[in-house]
Structure 1
Amino acid sequence: MNYQTIIQQAQHQQEPLKADRFVKISDRKDECDIPTDAWKPLLENSYLQTWKGIVLPKGITEMALYPMLLYELQPKTIIEIGAFNGGGAIWLADCLDVFGIEGRVHSVDIDLSLLDEKAKADSRINFIQGDCNNISAAFPSELLCALPHPWLIIEDAHINLAGILEYFHASGLRSGDYLIVEDTNKVHWGLWQDSWDDRDEMEQGANKMDDLRDWLKNHEDEYMIDTYYQDMYGYNGSKNWNSILKRV
């Protein structure tokens, strides 16, 4: 094995201007190289995964991909739509610290009662109680105007996806910012359908990839899929199909 060659290939793949790295949604299929049977063991114990003793239900591939993207992007602002217990927000803030990035995490949820006490006490995170069906109230334009770029927006609430995307598109996303829509993998919604309590959220979640594709059809020249991260573990080898997006 030629390790120098491996290093050179990795550096070439990461080139921001690499011609085939960024592609339109019309060039992509809603499918995944990871076999369907593999998703059950990958997902069923995801809520046993912890960070600093706090539940961190990120996909195993996302745990590897996010730090690389954060280091490349160097975001000044991370907006997390869907706080859950705050574990993800703490993990993101810790990643920023590790990389020496001066940024802040803003995390919104309709119910902040689930927040871990460690999350509540973390001054690096601005937790906002708000309804994704009224996202402009949670993130008013005057707040967004004050948030420094680059931005990384992570949608992980499974409610009003098109409305959320359109709001941030019209109210602040700039060239170079990133947008990730979590859980667009159609397979895993089928695995969760019998255990998800909120049936409306379940229904909207199961349609996320279709809703994202419909929205992107009107913004094909503005948001490109970053295939370096999207396909690192095989074509759409992630819980997030065709949804690691860069505004161009």
Structure 2
Amino acid sequence: MKLASGYKAFWEAAHKNYPDQTKPGGNLDWIIEISSVVNAECSDRFAKPSARGWNSYFHAKLFPDRSTKVGALAQTYKGLLNIKSPFDLHLYTRLIWELQPRTILELGSLQGGSALWFADQLSVLCENKGEVHSFDINTKCIHPDATHPMINFHQVDLSNIANFDENLLNNLPHPWLVVDDAHIQVFPIFSHLGQFLVSGDYYVIEDDPMRADREIIDGLALVEQSGFLIDTYYTDAFGTNLTCAPNAWLRKA
């Protein structure tokens, strides 16, 4: 994993060379505030789901009003729907650079806009070019422009986990980034695909955790039992759980 570095050295140099600016109220005070966010090497970055608590869902709202939500839902990439918030697009860019995934599994294809965006990110940010595998039953919705040498679309009914090709899953190279944006059988699929993930792989569950109901809380208990930790850098980078995947940027321990 590629991690941020150099912030401690930067802070020490600032104290030495610009003492006036590092006094209380100085121009560099903000570094203290953001250091726990930008420094991804902090020791408490990974947390058990049970340690986050119910209240953590409500510390920040991704969509404070209707116009913000409408704007996010209207996002496009190269003319195709890519329904992800600007915050999450930035977070995925950071994670792809950090993780260097060889495989991205996307559950829910829609027009193929997000698969195209993921493929372009892989081609720019990764040293070893990977592949995007996108799964959906409605492959007729995929736009002809959603083509890329690194994308593979699969027609799969996600309501039944038996429809996944286990031979395919067993042979896809790691690290993996799994993105569930299908909202179908969320935790049964997580439990099934989790068996194929290895230490360091990521699994992101979008949208459904924003409900924060009993099903979600019980599902995250399953997450913990399956050996996954919440990566709090990604859940909290813009404020506690200011993401479409609150408490659901998950890394296999």
TM-score (norm 2): 0.80
Which residue of structure 1 lines up, in the alignment, with residue 194 of structure 2?
169
* CA-atom RMSD in angstroms: 2.5
Displacement after TM superposition at 1:136 (Å):
3.5
* 1:145-166 superposed Cα distances (whole Å, 9 cap, x missing partner): 2100000001111111121011
Q: 1:235 aligns with which of 221, 232, 240?
A: 240
Q: Any unmatched runs of 5+ in structure 1?
A: 188-205
Number of residue pairs the alignment of both structures matches: 223
CA distance in 1, matches of 2:85, 2:214: 19
1:212 matched to 2:219: yes
CA distance in 2, matches of 1:12, 1:86: 31
Which residue of structure 2 lines up, in the alignment, with residue 24 of structure 1?
48
CA distance in 1, matches of 2:29, 2:144: 45
Q: Any unmatched runs of 5+ in structure 2?
A: 1-26
CA distance in 1, matches of 2:62, 2:43: 31
Contact 1:154 1:179 in 2 (8 A): yes
Contact 1:161 1:208 in 2 (8 A): no
CA distance in 2, matches of 1:36, 1:99: 27
| Cα gap change, 1:208 to 1:150, in 2 (>3 Å) | farther
1:110 matched to 2:137: yes
What secondary structure does 1:152 align onto?
A: strand
Moved more, 232-241 or 69-78: 232-241
Identity in percent: 35
The correspondence of residues 78-157 of structure 1 with structure 2, limited to 5 A, is 78-101=104-127, 102-119=129-146, 121-138=147-164, 140-157=165-182
Q: 1:64 aligns with which of 90, 101, 108?
A: 90
CA distance in 1, matches of 2:93, 2:69: 21
User: Looking at CA atoms only, which structure, 1 or 2, has the larger radius of gyration?
Assistant: 2
Which residue of structure 2 lines up, in the alignment, with residue 246 of structure 1?
251
What secondary structure does 2:204 align onto?
A: strand
Q: 1:48 aligns with which of 68, 74, 82?
A: 74
* 1:36-59 superposed Cα distances (whole Å, 9 cap, x missing partner): 871422212323211111111102
